[in-house]
Amino acid sequence: GAVVSQHPSRVICKSGTSVKIECRSLDFQATTMFWYRQFPKQSLMLMATSNEGSKATYEQGVEKDKFLINHASLTLSTLTVTSAHPEDSSFYICSASIGQDYSGANVLTFGAGSRLTVL
Amino acid sequence: AQKITQTQPGMFVQEKEAVTLDCTYDTSDPSYGLFWYKQPSSGEMIFLIYQGSYDQQNATEGRYSLNFQKARKSANLVISASQLGDSAMYFCAMREPYNNNDMRFGAGTRLTVKP
C-alpha cells in the first residue's frame, strides 16, 4: 500500500532557528501533498496544499514566509519553519494521495508526523 | 463555516459492546467523500473507512461500519464489539474534489473502551 515517510519524528530547537521537515511518498508519486498542523487536544488544521513544480497554496492565516513549502519532485515535499518561536510548537503532519480523481474517493495517506518543540 | 461537526468530545464504551460516533457535514457539492480516521496516542492517522456521496449502500470494513444518511448529511461511525485497542481519537473527514480536494477534519471524539 501507499506509504508516506516523514522525518524527523521529533525535533527540539531554539527560538529563532529554522527547522526542515521532509515528507516522502515511498512507493507512489504524489502530485499533491497536504500539510497539516495539530495543536494538543485539537483537530488537524490544513496549512497548505503543495503541488509538484508549483508554488504551494496556503490557507488563510498561515504565513507563507514563515512556513516555506517546497515540492520539487513527485516524491518529496518539505516544510521549513523559519525563525521558529515557542508558539510554533506543534505536531506537523503531511499527507498525500495517489493520483487525482474527482470523486473525492482517494484516501489520504499520512506520514507519522513531526513533533516540533521550540524552546 | 464548519464543514464537519463532531459533537461528542468524549465517549465511553464497555469492552465488547458497540458504539456510535456522530458526524455531520455540510457541502453543496454533489460529489464528495467521507472518511473516518483513528489517531492513537502515537499520533499516526489510521484510515478506517470511506463512503462516497454516490454510494447506495453503507460502507463496512470489518468491525467498522458507516451509517450514511445523505438527506440528513450525517455519516456516523459504528464500531462493533469494541476492544481495548480501540481507545483513541476518532476523526471524521470530508473531501470535496472540486474544492481543492483536500481533506477537512472534524474536532474529533476521544473514545475510551472500558474493560
B41 lies within 8 A of chain A by CB: no
Q: If pLDDT is split at 50, 70 and 90, which confidence band does B1 have?
A: low
Query: Is residue B67 exposed (0-12), middle (13-18) or buried (19+ Cβ within 10 Å)?
Result: middle
Amino acid at the residue A9: S
Q: Nearest CA of chain A to the CA of B15: how many Å?
A: 24
Query: Which residue from B33, B105, B106 is facing A105, i.e. has the nearest CB?
Result: B33
Place of cell 508549483: A54
pLDDT at B112 over 60: yes
CB pairs below 8 Å between A and B: how many?
Answer: 71
For each of chain A's 119 residues, which pLDDT tens digit applies?
678 999 999 999 999 999 999 999 998 888 889 999 999 989 999 999 988 888 899 999 999 999 999 988 889 999 999 999 999 999 999 998 765 555 556 778 899 999 999 99
C-alpha closest to that of A83 among A17, A13, A11: A17
Residues of chain A in contact with residue B33, where contact means CB-CB under 8 angstroms, are 103-106
Indicate which of A32, A43, A115 best probes the interface with B, i.e. most B CBs within 10 Å of its own CB. A43
pLDDT of residue B102: 81
- CA A114 to chain CA centroid, nearest Å: 9
